[in-house]
Chains A and B, each alone.
Chain A
Amino acid sequence: LLEESIKDEL
């Protein structure tokens, strides 16, 4: 399950 990490936030 691809854990959408918070690092995709600005």
Chain B
Amino acid sequence: MNVFRFAGDMTHLISILVLLLKIYTTKSCSGISLKTQELYAVVFVTRYLDLVTDFISVYNTVMKVVFISSSLAIVWCIRRHKVVRRSYDKELDTFRHWLLVGACAVLALVVHEKFSFQEVCWAFSIYLEAVAILPQLVLLQRSGNVDNLTGQYVFFLGAYRAFYILNWIYRYYSEQHFTRWISCVSGIVQTALYADFFYYYFISWKNNSKLQLPA
């Protein structure tokens, strides 16, 4: 465990806490893409299949349980909670995210480290995580105004993978045979997708103005 990875995990945890805070305090999910939350639930379930088979550390196990349970809880809230579900932007959140699932599944069947069920699922989850934010970014551009908590949620979600890239660079130089191209390439693509969001987020922060994404 190195400081970059720990910072990345904490940033990821903060993004989830910010989202839960928004939904819990405002009892609203306006501006939140249910499709992105569903994709993240799939990402965590397919990536942490080894949750019950391999024990790595208490930290690892606890974080996996937190990520799986929080993502499922958020999807449940937006779908089923009698108050929250009313504020879901159903007509704006129209990204065909199952296409992303299909494309990542095909890619995982072609590009993986080992052809085993767990490895293919792992590669699938890495690819899917890279594009999972797309429905959310599209929704933000369509809805125009971004409320603070939603903006912070997306910001932390993007920042966490950037810390992971530093972690991979660090591990590449500090461990002999650490070469994991699937995660690295996918992580760079994932962070790049946030580039324009980060730009507008920084501008709005600098001008102390409301975050506006060009439609």
* A interface list, Cβ under 8 A from B: 1, 3-4, 6-10
Q: Which of these, A1, A6, A10, contacts B180 with CB under 8 Å? A: A6
Check if B183 sits within 8 Å of A10, measured CB to CB: no
Q: Which of these, A3, A7, A8, A10, contacts B12 with CB under 8 Å? A: A10
Interface residue B40 (Cβ < 8 Å from any Cβ of A): no
**Given A3-B177, A4-B175, does the pair A10, B9 have CB atoms closer than 8 Å?**
yes
Check if B67 sits within 8 Å of A6, measured CB to CB: no
**Given A3-B177, A4-B175, does the pair A9, B50 have CB atoms closer than 8 Å?**
no
Interface size class of B (residues with CB under 8 A): 20 to 34
Instruction: Report the separation of the CA atoms of residues A4 and B179 in the bound assembly, to the nearest whole angstrom.
Output: 11
Q: Which of these, B54, B67, B175, B183, contacts A9 with CB under 8 Å? A: B183
A10 to chain B, nearest CB (A): 5
Chain B minimum-CB-distance residue to A8: B56
Q: Which of these, A3, A6, A10, contacts B63 with CB under 8 Å? A: A10
